[in-house]
A = this chain, B = another copy of it.
Amino acid sequence: MTQQHRLNALLELVSDRGEISITEISDALQISAATARRDLNALADEHLLTRTHGGAVALGTGYELPLQYKIARQGEAKLAIAGAVSKLVSLSDSIGLNGGTTTSEVARALGRSPHLVGKDVEYGLTVVTNALNIGYELSVRPHIKIVVTGGIARRQSYELVGSIVTNTLSDLVLDTVILGVDGLSEQFGATTLHEGEAEVSQSFVKVAKRVIVVADSTKMGRATLARISPLDQIDVLVTEKPVSGALAAALDAANVRVVLP
């Protein structure tokens, strides 16, 4: 029983039953609970299932609600950033969101924020996104209207990319666009690892009245493969620690407002 076999068998078990517990796994595959946990975590890291306390559930089973577990794994910084961002959004806004772990956290925060639940409003919050996971998770929320851009799915990030995205976005106008980025540097501005995602983010910037960049402190001063936009097209940066050094000066010069939790 190799690792590969185990992982395959595990996936099959989970997608057959919809959910599974650690003890069921260690029983069925004759492996220790420790290994069962390791395997589940490995599969969860690749987004092939959703981990829960005591086991896992297959994708697409009802409401994948025990998100606290995921959140705990993703770190405090992103959670704090997400909370701060949701305060910058108001009811009846139309919001753009690209993909990524930080923006996914922002999406969850938007879904939770009490001040975004309109009681008697005809049009509440509208979220436009090219991220499949965000669309999927938020589509259950009654108070948010979800528009998905369409496009070709990238497995690594759940993002939709390609000409379909840019075509769709060019017909829209967004009050605020919230962009997760992989790097933010003085010289190159906001950058990302994938050129297709950069193209999408550029399209978002073009149709936005206000651009908010979300990035934790590890992204500061870093530049990755593909440019999204120079600093002066950014209106607000939300991060969890004060920015220092040359980047801070550049942000100031570009009139970027820095918001901390």
A residues lining the B interface (CB < 8 Å) = 2-4, 7-8, 11-12, 15, 18-19, 21, 42-43, 45-48, 52-55, 57, 59-63, 65-67, 69-70, 73, 104, 108, 111-112, 117, 132-133, 135-143, 145-155, 158, 160, 164-165, 167-168
Contacts of A65 in B (CB 8 A): 4, 7, 42-43, 46
Inter-chain CA distance A21–B52, complex, in Å, is 27
B3 in contact with A52 (CB, 8 Å):
yes
Q: A47-B140, A139-B154, A150-B151 are in contact. List 17 more A-B contacts (CB 8 A).
A: A3-B52, A7-B66, A15-B112, A45-B112, A46-B65, A47-B143, A59-B142, A60-B69, A60-B136, A60-B142, A66-B140, A132-B148, A133-B136, A136-B158, A139-B153, A140-B155, A150-B164
A62, A137, A153 — which one has the most chain B CB atoms within 10 A of its CB? A62
Contacts of A155 in B (CB 8 A): 139-142
Inter-chain CA distance A200–B184, complex, in Å, is 40
Contacts of A149 in B (CB 8 A): 150, 164
Nearest residue, chain B, Cβ from A157 = B139
* Contact of A135 (CB < 8 Å), options: B7, B53, B112, B132: B132
Contacts of A143 in B (CB 8 A): 47
A45, A48, A140, A155 — which one has the most chain B CB atoms within 10 A of its CB? A140
Inter-chain CA distance A46–B68, complex, in Å, is 12
Contacts of A3 in B (CB 8 A): 52-54, 66
Inter-chain CA distance A3–B54, complex, in Å, is 9
B59 in contact with A140 (CB, 8 Å):
yes
B117 in contact with A47 (CB, 8 Å):
yes
